[in-house]
Structure 1
Amino acid sequence: MDQLPPIVLTALGYVQQAWDIAKEWLLSPAAWSQFGLLIAAYILAVLAYRAIAPRLRKVLTPDDSNASVFAQARRFVLMFLPLLLPLLAYGFTGIGEQVTRALFGSGAVIAFGKRVFLFLAARILVQQIITDGFLKLLGKYILLPVMALYAFGLLDTVQAQLTAMTVSLGNISFSVMAIVRGLIAGSILFWLGQWSNGHSSNYIGKQEELRPSIRQLASKAVEFSIFGLCFLLLMNIMGINLSALAVLGGAIGVGLGFGLQKIASNFISGVILLLEGQATVGDYVELDGGEAGTIVKMTARATFLETFDGRWIVVPNEDFITTRVVNYSDQGSSNRYEANFSVSYDTDINKVPALVQAAVSKHPDVLDAPEGPDCELRGFGDSGIDFCLEFWVNGIDDGKNKYTSQVLFIIWNTLKENNIEIPYPHRVVEFKGDFPK
């Protein structure tokens, strides 16, 4: 036996200890009485559950059409109704434990049964109640193993072993227990941060009285605050002194001063954009460098533009502050466009403006304010007389393919209906000498 590895000897010691406890329970009258109390407590819990659960379900179940906060709270409480049976058994077993300890001075068996009922409650929680995939994964691989160790009375032993084991990273050492605790707490805090951030963003997004840029800035501020608080809580849970992060903060400051200037500049520019609201999601903008598109997303570092052909352009936020930006939308303001056309020199040009303006004004998207359709004479070309129709619409002409195209169709049909010729180039070719064969 002495030649076996230490881990095997330790395992055999636990097996021998479990066998001794089992023999003591099987041969002890006090243990048999505790087994009887466990069975009685479970039967009593089943009877109480059958009497209480239907009434609770009837009280807590709201109408399907009821969407009030109180109704949602009732549905939330109703989800935990399957826990009632193991918790009732746990409570009745606790009463039986007090009785056995008072009569026999021992309650190890019934205490074990009480912990088993608590494990069953945790198992029901993970399998039947929790629906979120991430929380179900944590419950399956963290909560249930911990509750199993607690049920068999090994949790304190395992915790002591993990605390004694250390991992060193340079001059810093951590116990394995601190790392495990940090991973568990970090996972829970990460999920909680994601959940609270999603709900707060939805709430802020519904505040229609706020400008879109202010809503987005508030969502970002809440997001940074939530995850910053989660980070501080995680450091505290892991036992890391926050004053030790001062050196790291200084290093980050030096990095911002030298290598991360552009990142810091884009981040600050993004905050300014959200505060001023000079460009926000949904606006159609054109930058000084020629980039143009609809703003579909704004992040802390860059703004995403979607062009009319479906491509996305990533523009650093700094470009919106340091260069000229043309905003065609400005949260839904009207825009003016032009449609150029020509007529023949044989045309009475005095009739053209009135005919074209009257026809284009009937278009449902063409506005009367700030100005109705205006047909202007632009010049005398080589082949015809040049006109330009100016018109206002509430929207963006996607590359002269939407409103301008529709207006040009109206102009064409109007000129044809009034027998006005649209000219095309004429050329006179002169040959010197004999006509070519």
Structure 2
Amino acid sequence: MEKLQVWLQQATDTALGWLASPAALSQFALLILAYFIARLLARRLTPILEGTLTPKPEATHLIARLRRFALLFLPLLLPLLAYALTAVGEGLTRATFGTGEVIAFGKRVFLFLAALEFVRRVLPSGFLKLLGRYVLLPVAALYALGLLDDVTDRLNAAQVNLGNIEFTALALIRGLIAGSLLFWLGSWSNHQSAGYIKAQPDLRPATRELAIKASEVAIFGAAFLLLMSIMGIDLTAVAVLGGALGVGIGLGLQQIAANFVSGIILLLEGQTTVGDYVELDGGERGTIVKMTARACILETFDGKWIVIPNEHFITTRVVNYSDQGSANRYEALFSVAYETDINIVPDLIERAVSKLPFILQQPDGPDCELRGFGESSVDFAVEYWVSGIDDGKNKYGSPVLFAIWNALKEAGIGMPYPHRVVELRNAPGA
């Protein structure tokens, strides 16, 4: 509070001195003149710049995107023109009167107004606007008031010690701001790079996932090292931290490390990738919808998600039913009565199943086989190929069974049911 009172007294004395000085009054006049000239120029230049920078609505190329991005900064035209004109006026004032504190203050105020417009009308809602509101504007206000150097010196004099690591309060604040901005930028860059990699049709799915993970590690690793440099932390301390982390992995984080390495192996081999329908020894089955550094996520046919550690795909048996849309073979079992002429059944069923739209003729068409002679029926099975996975033999199996039933009914072939003969011995009247 005492320091604030001193600052307020100094500001009051400075303002009164300016009001009593002809040189200061002339600088006020130059500030007002610079503002009105900047306003006139902005009014004339804004329509011209809008017409020049506005691309056609259907244009989506890089130049069009850059022009739309440049249009966002048009609200800054007025304060920046006033700042530039004031800078010219400051040079003239200092050359004429040997002083220019008033016009220099006005120049800083115009810069603050530019920052205010930048936060209000340029920055998008979300993290960047929050950062601009609570970081950029306070810094610009302190600079406009001429207090930024004093505040910076005081923060730089305050030491913060964390074990063997020493840094100033200014470095801590700068690190927090830079860290939040760097990791936001890293997240945005990772999202953009992932979208670009996924859009490449020539890359295998496993290669795309590996490239996405590699870019993510590179982006955030570079952001972390840059943050350490900004905060002024010696990287030897990071090496000590890395050694401690290695000991921790060796003692208690073996499973996490194993899953991470297993995930890299899965991505490199490409034998199991996103979109495959797999079944593990533990009975888990589903379509791989996501592969992370620690686990694979399976989606079952009933919509449940199962998280499977990557290590299980390396150390246990995995049945992969799909390879990016390859054909799969299924079979449908049925029986006919012993009174049936079984020689006509295979051709009848093969023709009926072949008419279904999802049945493939390659690598092989429907194949009806005699499987055996049961107690009450002759057992058959028809094998068929489809492009995709059957969800529990309901997606394709049900239409195939309907086709078999209808074909047998049309041919007058009945399906048997069990017959039992009961013999009663020593029955009355026998």
Both structures adopt the same fold (TM-score exceeding 0.5) = yes
Secondary structure of the 1:351 match is helix
Q: Which of 209, 213, 218 is 2:211 aligned to? A: 218
1:340 lines up with 2:323 in the alignment: no
* In structure 2, distance between residues paired with 1:412 and 1:177: 81
* In structure 2, distance between residues paired with 1:53 and 1:190: 35
Q: Which of 296, 313, 316 is 1:320 aligned to? A: 313
For 1:294, the equivalent position in structure 2 comes to 287
Amino acid at match of 1:424: Y
After the TM superposition, which of the residue ranges 49-58 and 366-375 deviates more from structure 2?
A: 49-58
| Matched-pair identity in % | 65
For 2:411, the equivalent position in structure 1 comes to 418
Q: CA deviation at 1:169?
A: 2.6
Q: Deviations over 1:93-129 (max 9, x none)?
A: 0011111111111111110100000001011111101
1:96 lines up with 2:89 in the alignment: yes
Q: CA deviation at 1:256?
A: 2.1
Within 5 Å, which residues of 2 pair with 1:246-325? 246-325=239-318
Q: CA deviation at 1:320?
A: 1.0
Q: Deviations over 1:211-266 (max 9, x none)?
A: 01101100110110010000000000000000122221111222222222221111
Q: Runs of 5+ in structure 1 lacking a partner?
A: 1-7
Q: Which of 378, 399, 408 is 2:392 aligned to? A: 399
* In structure 2, distance between residues paired with 1:405 and 1:421: 19
Q: Which of 71, 75, 78 is 1:82 aligned to? A: 75
Q: Which of 9, 13, 20 is 1:16 aligned to? A: 9
How many pairs are equivalent? 429
* In structure 1, distance between residues paired with 2:225 and 2:278: 40
* In structure 2, distance between residues paired with 1:431 and 1:301: 68
Q: Deviations over 1:173-198 (max 9, x none)?
A: 33211110001100110111011111
1:372 lines up with 2:362 in the alignment: no
Secondary structure of the 1:113 match is helix
For 2:233, the equivalent position in structure 1 comes to 240
Q: Deviations over 1:310-351 (max 9, x none)?
A: 111111111111221111111111000010000001100001
Amino acid at match of 2:96: L
**Residues 276 and 322 in structure 2, CA contact (< 8 A), matched pair in contact too:** yes
For 1:47, the equivalent position in structure 2 comes to 40
**Residues 167 and 232 in structure 2, CA contact (< 8 A), matched pair in contact too:** no
For 1:111, the equivalent position in structure 2 comes to 104
Within 5 Å, which residues of 2 pair with 1:111-150? 111-150=104-143
Amino acid at match of 1:396: I
Q: CA deviation at 1:132?
A: 4.2
For 1:169, the equivalent position in structure 2 comes to 162
* In structure 2, distance between residues paired with 1:12 and 1:131: 38
Secondary structure of the 2:372 match is strand
Secondary structure of the 2:283 match is coil
For 2:345, the equivalent position in structure 1 comes to 352
Q: Runs of 5+ in structure 2 lacking a partner?
A: none
* In structure 2, distance between residues paired with 1:315 and 1:11: 60
Moved over 4 A (4+): none
* In structure 1, distance between residues paired with 2:91 and 2:235: 45
Q: Which of 404, 411, 421 is 1:428 aligned to? A: 421
Q: Which of 22, 33, 47 is 1:29 aligned to? A: 22
* In structure 2, distance between residues paired with 1:83 and 1:423: 86
| RMSD of aligned residue pairs (Cα, Å) | 1.3
Q: CA deviation at 1:430?
A: 2.8
Amino acid at match of 2:116: R
Q: CA deviation at 1:167?
A: 2.7
Secondary structure of the 1:350 match is helix
